[in-house]
Amino acid sequence: MENLKNKGEFTTEKVVSYPPKKAQGKFDEVPGKYCVRDLSLADEGQKLIDWAESRMPVLMHLREIYSKTKPFKGYKISGCLHVTKETAVLIRTLVESGAEVSWSGCNPLSTNDAVAAALAKQGISIFAWHGNLEDFYWCIERTIDIPPHLTLDDGCDLINTVHEKYPEMAKTHIIGGTEETTTGVHRLRARQEAGQLLYPVFAVNDTETKWDFDNVYGTGQSTLDGIMRATSVLIAGKTVVVAGHGHCGSGVAKRAKGLGANTVITEVKPTAAIKALLEGHQVMTMDQAAEIGDIFITATGCKDVIRKWHFEKMKDGAIVCNTGHYDVEINIPELEELAVSKRTIRENCEEYTLKDGRRIYLLAQGRLINLAAAEGHPSEVMDMSFANQFMALLRFVEAHKEGKKFPIEVMDIPPEQDEYIATLKLQSMGVQIDKLTPEQEQYLKDYLAGT
């Protein structure tokens, strides 16, 4: 095993102020250890974590195995990922597998303060609170005051901080990193292209057990959940228009159909449009759909999907929302222009009245409805994504112990890992599947067979 570098080797004399300079309000903090909003929320947070644990059998299975052998012993992991009950299950699993962990959130709004408090109380080094816009990077920096051997990212902010501010740490101390999202993987590939990547990174995003389940089933359910929480409308019998039939859009449409909606898809890609048709959805242009839709959901990743002339055609009472990554899919400035008045009906539900008296309801101000009005992906879905994170980090540690090095590039996770995680998930669900006989395996390999 290669010697692990000493802790603190790269820590220059830093004078760090606690609580962070820019932050407002009360904090509970122990300098160098944690900084959270309110430690008295810990019991509430612990109950949420317990609940998530009961829904995340794959991670719990990995915890059971590796808490015995503690493969991460002697390794420090810094993470920058949504502080949620699901993430807490991942953190706890890493800790019980021997890791020393420090954490910050990767999004100012996703931190659950109760979960953060519970983690701090468990002795985990955590720097995160809800609404942290001002001290976002302050928190990230605190997680690397003790230099990590491994980094875990969602959106690349930790990797970027290390590369830009502490290149020596990146070059000589950090063994590897993992990245959870599409955006992060794009940024990393750009960094690699520019010759600026300093350590190997696994693209956890690009696994089947992450990508397919997050997008299709995670977004599918949470989007409908968000719409129902924001409006309480009956979905059955409604005409639900989904813009985009990619992974997310198809998941959303599938769930809307399951709730009894008449589903309409709009697309720009011919193959995606055929798939939608063969799934039993109607396909038409947004111009046509605007006239008949009761609920509009954008899931395209593109801007200006619903515009002025669409609003002008919509029925009185139409509901409009977005589940795509940015709040540009619905052209809200044009809706504002058309409206003569606007009022808030309830949380995440705003009514725009147009000149002729028709009312259009915009949910969550066009931001991601599944995050704003619901709770993101269910624990069962995050179970597989985070099991991929765990296994990817384990790959680095096992290779490191054998003195092996990975190429300094953005790496794909081997397909065996997907199969392994899917197998564990099936086992946890009590589902058995068939196994190929040796003869069948031979048949599949034989290029002459079948003639």
Number of residues interacting with ligand 9W1: please give it, by CB under 6 A.
11
- The owner of tokens 């384990």 is 394
- Residue 239 found at the interface with ligand 9W1 (CB under 6 A): no
Least Å from the CB of residue 7 to ligand 9W1 = 28
| Distance separating alpha carbons of residues 75 and 332, to the nearest angstrom | 48
Segment contacting ligand 9W1 by CB under 6 A, of 62-70, 80-88, 192-200, 202-210 = 80-88
Q: Which of 376, 387, 392, 410 binds ligand 9W1 (CB under 6 A)?
A: 376
- Residue 371 found at the interface with ligand 9W1 (CB under 6 A): yes
- Residue 384 found at the interface with ligand 9W1 (CB under 6 A): no
For 392, the 3-state DSSP assignment is helix
Nearer to ligand 9W1, 351 or 375 (CB): 375
- Residue 87 found at the interface with ligand 9W1 (CB under 6 A): yes
Nearer to ligand 9W1, 60 or 169 (CB): 60
Neighbours of 385 (CB within 10 A): 26
- Residue 82 found at the interface with ligand 9W1 (CB under 6 A): yes
Least Å from the CB of residue 156 to ligand 9W1 = 13
Nearer to ligand 9W1, 309 or 326 (CB): 326
Question: Is residue 29 a contact partner of residue 18, using CB atoms and an 8 Å limit?
Answer: yes
Least Å from the CB of residue 23 to ligand 9W1 = 20
Segment contacting ligand 9W1 by CB under 6 A, of 10-18, 30-38, 64-72, 84-92 = 84-92
Least Å from the CB of residue 399 to ligand 9W1 = 27
Where does residue 304 rank: exposed (0-12), middle (13-18), buried (19+ CB within 10 A)? middle
For residue 63, how far is the Cα from the chain centroid?
21
- Residue 377 found at the interface with ligand 9W1 (CB under 6 A): yes
Segment contacting ligand 9W1 by CB under 6 A, of 78-86, 191-199, 230-238, 390-398 = 78-86
Sequence-separated (6 or more) residues with CB below 8 Å from residue 172: 5
Site for ligand 9W1 in 109-128 (CB under 6 A): 110
- Residue 157 found at the interface with ligand 9W1 (CB under 6 A): no
Sequence-separated (6 or more) residues with CB below 8 Å from residue 107: 82, 154, 155
Helices 247-258, 219-231: axis angle to 10 degrees equals 50
- Residue 224 found at the interface with ligand 9W1 (CB under 6 A): no
| Distance separating alpha carbons of residues 327 and 366, to the nearest angstrom | 5
Residues 158-187, one symbol each (x = binds ligand 9W1 by CB under 6 A, - = not), give ------------------------------
The torsion angle over the Cα atoms of residues 412, 416, 417 and 423, rounded to 10 degrees, is: 150
Q: Which of 382, 384, 391, 394 binds ligand 9W1 (CB under 6 A)?
A: 382
Closest chain position to ligand 9W1 (CB): 376
Furthest C-alpha separation in the chain? 75
Least Å from the CB of residue 128 to ligand 9W1 = 12
Neighbours of 414 (CB within 10 A): 14
Least Å from the CB of residue 144 to ligand 9W1 = 21
- Residue 218: which of 242, 248, 258, 244 has the closest Cα? 248
- Residue 107 found at the interface with ligand 9W1 (CB under 6 A): yes
Least Å from the CB of residue 277 to ligand 9W1 = 29
DSSP letters of 294-319? Answer: SEEEE-SSSS-SB-HHHHHHPPTTEE
| Distance separating alpha carbons of residues 381 and 217, to the nearest angstrom | 7
Segment contacting ligand 9W1 by CB under 6 A, of 228-236, 349-357, 368-376, 442-450 = 368-376
**Could you give the residue ranges of the DSSP H alpha helices within 143-246?**
157-165, 167-172, 182-193, 208-212, 219-231
Residues that bind ligand 9W1 (CB under 6 A): 82, 84, 86-87, 107, 110, 371, 375-377, 382
